[in-house]
Amino acid sequence: MGTVRRATLDDADAIGDIAEAKRAQYARYQPVFWRPHRDARASHVTYVRRQLAADNGRVFRFVHEEDGTVDAYGGGELFPIPPVFGAAGTACVVDGFAPRRSEQWPTAGAAVRDAIVAAAADAGAALVAVVSGFDDEPKRAVLERAGLRPDSGWHVRERDRAPAGSFDAGVRPAGPSDAPAILDLAAAALADYQGYQPTFWQRAGDRRAEQVAALGAAVADPGTVAVVHETAGRVEGCAVGTLEAAPAVYDPGGPVLLVGDFAVDGPDEKTAAALVEAVDRLGRERGAVLTAVVAGQADAARRRLLAELGFRQASLWYVRSLRGT
């Protein structure tokens, strides 16, 4: 049956091998978004060893071993929940998690999953969030059997698949003075998402002044790409993204634009489409090789719009509240 135990430095190479095979699998789903870096295995092994050596209580890694062979691994890291959300405490984020072979998800994979969830609960985490490739059906099934539910995910479009053209007449780049309107739009969207996943998206209390200041500074940052849609002086939609380098184990060919805040006042799909196209174009002009937009899994309208614009879902975040466990 095998056993689950805490990972040690001696397990780093086995973890690197399993992770390398998983990256190759995901690259078949999304050749650019999931493209492995040529030095991915070495980078991953170094990263794992550094984390295991630190032993700071924020990171816990497990392996499943059978007949002396490590055949699955997984780990979580505790992060403070951002102040824009109201859930107190920390979240356990699980990024690296896989068995050696896909057919081992219900056995070795499930055993590691249970160890991670138990460790997160013991550490007092408010929730656990696990990333999965959208096309990774065996992994998704194992997560759902443990009560984790799909919350949201990245929808991706590569640079060479984006249409050319000019901005919609109502779209313009955003500035710090737009922060209050952007915050109101984002808060309204967040209220809808709170209905999908109350712990993950729970709204914070009255921190408007601090949030406006932080958002204004973010919009002014050179790494931010932000646009608004304005009609008769009223901002009625926004899209805000950040230019990010890919993790060291991936090589999409350049920076990626991650659009986390995207909201429209009302169901106007034309305005929403114009915002997506505008933020994507600005990102491409600044070197982004792809744009990824987050959408709630229960947000059928946004998912449909992104599909119509040529975006394909690449990943899913599975979430489970640990309160009361």
pLDDT at 323: 76
pLDDT at 193: 63
Torsion angle, alpha carbons of 169, 174, 177, 181, to 10: 80
- pLDDT reading at 173 higher than 80: yes
Rounded to 5 degrees, φ, ψ at 204 are -80, 175
Q: Decide if 25 contacts 85 (C-beta within 8 A).
A: no
What's the Rg (C-alpha) of the chain? 20
pLDDT at 169: 76
What is the arithmetic mean of pLDDT over 209-235? 90
Q: Decide if 248 contacts 43 (C-beta within 8 A).
A: yes
Closest CA to 170 of 257, 267, 273: 273
- Count Cβ atoms below 10 Å from residue 131 Cβ, excluding itself: 18
- pLDDT reading at 252 higher than 50: yes
Give 298 or 189, the one with higher predicted confidence. Answer: 298
pLDDT at 203: 47
Q: Decide if 73 contacts 98 (C-beta within 8 A).
A: yes
- Count Cβ atoms below 10 Å from residue 102 Cβ, excluding itself: 15
pLDDT at 199: 47
Closest CA to 182 of 224, 133, 239: 239
Average pLDDT, the chain: 89
Torsion angle, alpha carbons of 134, 136, 138, 140, to 10: -20
Q: Decide if 263 contacts 279 (C-beta within 8 A).
A: no
- pLDDT reading at 18 higher than 70: yes
Cα→Cα distances 319→63, 162, 308, Å = 22, 31, 27
Lowest mean pLDDT among 184-198, 232-246, 303-317: 184-198
**DSSP class of 205:** -
- The beta strand positions in the chain, using DSSP E, are 3-6, 59-66, 69-80, 90-94, 97-99, 127-133, 149-158, 171-173, 224-231, 234-244, 256-264, 290-296, 312-313, 315-321
Q: What is the DSSP string of 257-278?
A: EEEEEEEESSS-HHHHHHHHHH
Give 325 or 29, the one with higher predicted confidence. Answer: 29
- Count Cβ atoms below 10 Å from residue 144 Cβ, excluding itself: 12
Q: Decide if 94 contacts 128 (C-beta within 8 A).
A: yes
Q: Read off the pLDDT of residues 261-278 as tens digits, 9 standing for 90 and up.
A: 899 997 778 899 999 999
- pLDDT reading at 88 higher than 80: no
pTM over 0.75: yes
Q: Which domains does the chain have, with CATH numbers?
A: 3-147 (3.40.630.30), 158-312 (3.40.630.30)
What is the arithmetic mean of pLDDT over 155-173? 81
Q: Read off the pLDDT of residues 31-55 as tens digits, 9 standing for 90 and up.
A: 999 999 999 999 999 999 998 888 7
What is the arithmetic mean of pLDDT over 159-187? 84
Q: Percentage of residues in the chain with pLDDT exceeding 90?
A: 69
pLDDT at 85: 54
Vertex 86: Cα angle to 180 and 240 (nearest 5): 40
pLDDT at 81: 75
**DSSP class of 181:** H
pLDDT at 269: 86
- Band of pLDDT at residue 140, cut at 50, 70 and 90: very high
Give 70 or 83, the one with higher predicted confidence. Answer: 70
Residue with tokens 């992994």: 139
Lowest mean pLDDT among 105-114, 172-181, 263-272, 289-298: 263-272
